[in-house]
Amino acid sequence: MDSVPVEATNERIRDAFQLLANETRLEILFALWNAPEWTATFTELKDAVGMRDSGQFQYHLNQLAGTFIRRTDDGYTHLASGIALYRAMLGSVAGTESIDSIPLDEFCPDCENRLRLTYENQVFFARCSACDETVLSSPFLPAGLDNRIDDERLWAFDRWTRRLVGNLRDGVCPWCASRVNHELSVEDSTESSAESEGGSNVRIVHTCNRCGGFLKTTVGENVIDHPAVISFFYDRGKDITSIPHWKLDFCTSDEGVELISEEPVEIRLTIREAGDELRLLFGDDCSVTEISRAEPRDSTHK
């Protein structure tokens, strides 16, 4: 697999940013972002920017072409990079920066006090209100907080996080679309978390080879959308696709996680519901290699 050396990548990024350090070129991008379907003719753009010299204007268009915009039969349109840039800025610069923490119905696995969701530096943390233990954390763009009340923010955060984890686990970076590495991270568990069977916190860390984006996930989070897990709960009267991930024990704790071997990776996750068990074995690349499902007690089919 070809990979571009870091220096060359940085050089290209520097060049792209340099293109933006010009009033006219920024105005062209704004005009295109505001145009229907991100497409406009030469004249429409020139009028929007208010530049009289056609030669000069063409020069700036040519500068942007290939990096942020492209020429079409009847004008110009944004490339994916031009749209991504706009969305990144819109999602992060132009949103709500801080909100009051949101109380959750769930309890701290360590001291059994109530959890609350706080928003700091564009990351959501579910933390214990008493001992400050962090149960989960995940990035969320400030724009997602706008025009939503707390319940809607919780819903949006759940959907957003599921998508992030799903993409990362599937090996496609949700931020830059590049390849993703999966690694095991094993830490000694803190004082009183007697629930974890191996006495350690087992996490799967997904890291993008290219943009450096990463997310540390519990073992359970990685199978929240696995058909065997969804159907296991569904057969027992629970639709986990509509339950926020922090309300699902197998997603937030190490309960049921058993580290059999670090090298090669072998982890067993036992999910329990209504007296039945579903066992998932994780192997190579931290992915599911084996599933054994207890038949529903009232099931008549195989």
- Binding-site ranges for Zn ion (CB under 5 A): 108, 110-111, 113, 128, 130-131, 133, 173, 175-176, 178, 208, 210-211, 213
Nearer to Zn ion, 85 or 278 (CB): 85
Q: Which is nearer to Zn ion, 34 or 113 (CB)?
A: 113
Tell me how far, at minimum, the Cβ of 20 lies from Zn ion, in Å: 21
Contact, 207 vs 183, CB < 8 A?
Answer: yes
Q: In the complex, what is the shortest distance from the CB of residue 163 to Zn ion, in angstroms, rounded to a whole number?
A: 14
Contact 145, 96 (CB under 8 A): yes
Closest CA to 128 of 193, 50, 32, 195: 193
Q: How far is the CB of 116 from Zn ion (least distance, A)?
A: 11
Strand residues in the chain grouped as ranges (E): 39-40, 69-72, 75-78, 102-107, 114-120, 123-128, 134-139, 180-188, 200-208, 214-218, 257-261, 266-273, 276-282, 288-293
- Our CB check for Zn ion shows the closer of 99 and 176 to be 176
Nearer to Zn ion, 71 or 114 (CB): 114
Tell me how many degrees the CA angle 232-236-240 measures, rounded to the nearest 5.
65
Instruction: State the minimum distance, in angstroms, from the CB of residue 169 to Zn ion.
Output: 14
* Residue number with CB closer to Zn ion (58 or 134): 134
Q: What is the nearest approach in angstroms of Zn ion to the Cβ of residue 165? A: 14
